[in-house]
Amino acid sequence: MIDMQMVFRWFGENDDHIPLSNIKQIPGVTGIVWALHDQAPGDKWPLDKIQAVKTEADNYGFNIDVVESVNIHEDIKLGLPSREQYIENYKATIKDLASVGVKVICYNFMPVFDWIRTDLFGEVGDGSTALFYEKAKIDAMKPEELVANFLSNDEFSLPGWEPERLGQLAELFEAYQNVSEEKLWDNLHYFLEQVIPVAEENGIKMAIHPDDPPWPIFGLPRIITNQDNIRRFLNLVDSPSNGLTFCSGSLGANPENDLISIVKEFGERIPFAHIRNLKHFSNGDFIESSHKASDGSVDIVGIVKAFHEIGFTGYTRPDHGRHIWDEVCRPGYGLYDRALGIMYLWGIWDSLSEKVKVN
């Protein structure tokens, strides 16, 4: 049986303190998931910088098949006339990424904010820390307070929210006042109609990431949140190049989402999977946990089994991990716990493959 392809997200040695030589020592990892993090949303990525990443990965025998993310400019999400140039830049970037062998582009369509947490280093209870979401705090917090809280950390900050961008926050919220969920759907549809044909022509699969968490934040609309919405999204442009990044953590933040059903219904349109665990609390809070199924609320074993049963051969990565053994790391992206997560996922997968072999 052909296996899934295990990859590992890498922000660059200087940015997340993890050299590729360390990743090379994790069994079964064949590629890095990467991006040009110094490029602003809407920029065309410079080909020389793309090629530099490929050269660096080649030195360790890694592929660069998966990019996460080519971020989408807010003007595209808002449906402004200026979106046309940003969409053209996006198309050009798709072509250049295809020229170096990229197969999958992960992206999201979340207004203003990417993933949201209230504490980057929440206490797990065993001496480790992890990303934590406190519902009451989010409900009472102003968005600029959240950003300022992250920016106050000297070493790490909320991705994409440099101090100069804080000044744009009020303007962005005002711009979204007239953007309903349906308007956001329309703007996403327009974007897909423009870029999916280019992706098809260049052998690229676009894979949208679900909203994290999968519900409206600060009054902003969010639309990639559940099975019905995923089905609607995939039908907007019915193409193999229009796909989903399955994320057990993002979708699993809502206990009502049936993650196994999502894998089974949309498996053919899932080129990329993020598998991670989290623990729900009755008040709506959640904290990210180890990948071990019993440590959290997500049926990790059932999810891997569902992927195995559909013959999944796409790309998989352990998603966020805890911060363990006093590691200094980017919040959610330590080397150690994600490496442990990979071995846990391989253990489940191999046990299922062995049963197939024996039977």
Catalytic entry in 90, 319, 323, 344: 319
Q: Is 209 considered catalytic here?
A: yes
CB 341 within 8 A of CB 276: yes
d(CA 72, CA 81): 15
Q: Is 17 considered catalytic here?
A: no
Catalytic entry in 212, 320, 323, 337: 320
Q: Say how many residues make up the chain.
A: 359
Catalytic entry in 73, 86, 247, 308: 247
Structure tokens at 180: 């309903």
Q: Is 247 considered catalytic here?
A: yes
d(CA 112, CA 73): 10
DSSP structural state of residue 220 = B
Bridge partners, residue 287, by sequence: 132, 279
Catalytic entry in 65, 90, 274, 323: 274
Q: Is 48 considered catalytic here?
A: no
Q: Is 315 considered catalytic here?
A: no
Catalytic entry in 75, 90, 133, 209: 209
d(CA 192, CA 124): 40
Q: Is 329 considered catalytic here?
A: no
Catalytic entry in 176, 315, 333, 336: 333
- How far is CA 169 from its chain centroid? 23
CB 270 within 8 A of CB 244: yes
Instruction: Indicate which residues carry an active-site annotation.
Output: 209, 247, 274, 319-320, 333
